[in-house]
Amino acid sequence: MPLSQRGPKTLLITTGVFLFIGILVVVATAQVLPFALFVPALYTIFSDRVHPWFKFILATAIPVTFVLAPGFIEGVALYASLIACGFLIRRFLTGRNAGMAVFAPSCLMFFLFVLGVWIMAVQEGASFHDIVSRWVREVMNQVALVYNQILSPGDLAEFRVSRTAMETRLAQLFWGIMASSVMSVMWLNVLIAAQVLKTVKLRSWKGPDWLVGFFIIAGIFILVNYDTIRILGLNLMIVVSQIYFFQGLAIVAAFLAGHNWSKVVRWVIYILILSQIYIMIAVTALGLFDTWFNFRNRIRSSEGDR
């Protein structure tokens, strides 16, 4: 079925599928969350085959749910936000702006997440730090259950001694980790949508040159002997490094495509990159130094020489 097909039957079926997905997200958010995170890509690909009334229904669902079934408001808001992200991705990919296709929905989801934490803090009469610390502690409790089964007594004792310090550090870096995670999810959505729609080639994407300024600022903040500024610098460094990691992956993809490496080998290399922290750091450094050396131009030049 071609993507341009928009007959009444197609609109009805596709709209029904999206409404069914919405019901699943609302009533079983935790169970379908891994799948729900890729709803933006799904909507980006099939948005021209969804009935115009779908957006109206989704927009009215939030206030109606808030009044009639407030227990489901989180799921409805999440689904509406994911559809909004799909709309933004579609718009920017159509305009061949891959950077904004990742950045705009990431900002939207991060803002809504912060808003959700703020609402929770107000309801509980707690601070942002209290909420985050509790979440980190719950995650570490789950990690401890796993470690109890797989670690030796000596390693388990070492984990228990260092756990408090680990929880403190994770709570300090929570916002940077969360922003980086949101960007990673949106980047995957853009990657999937771009592969299907053929609007842009992400291997040609390059971050703005002024981004290196934030990298320098983050580095300076980390060196400052003042906890608040140093923590801010660490969180900023996480976010900036994530963007340069995307740029480094684009360079690797351009190199592999330029030398006609098979898709199987490419996937093996991508999996290896994502599974090894030291290779990820090297790819991030590649993206950073691309600001000055423009590696993809050098790849094209070497191909031309041959």
Nearest to 200 by CA among 98, 99, 86, 103: 98
Q: How many CA atoms lie within 13 A of 294 on its CB side?
A: 7
Angle, CA 104 vertex, CA 101 and CA 107 arms, to 5°: 140
| Confidence at residue 306, expressed as pLDDT on a 0 to 100 scale | 47
Q: Is 0.95 topped by the overall pTM?
A: no
| Confidence at residue 6, expressed as pLDDT on a 0 to 100 scale | 57
H and E: helices and strands count for the chain: 14, 0
Alpha-carbon distance 127 to 125, whole Å?
A: 7
Tell me which residues of the chain have a pLDDT lower than 70.
1-7, 300-306
| Tokens 């041959």 found at | 306
Alpha-carbon distance 205 to 32, whole Å?
A: 31
**Cβ neighbours around 93 below 10 Å, total:** 20
Domain boundaries, the chain: 1-124+181-200, 206-306
Tokens standing for residue 242 = 């994530």
| Tokens 């290399």 found at | 269
Tokens standing for residue 107 = 């900002």
In sequence order, the 6+-apart residues with CB closer than 8 A to the CB of 76 are 22, 26, 61, 62, 65
Alpha-carbon distance 295 to 287, whole Å?
A: 9
Instruction: Tell which phi-psi region holds residue 125, choosing left (phi > 0), alpha (psi between -120 and 50) or beta.
Output: left
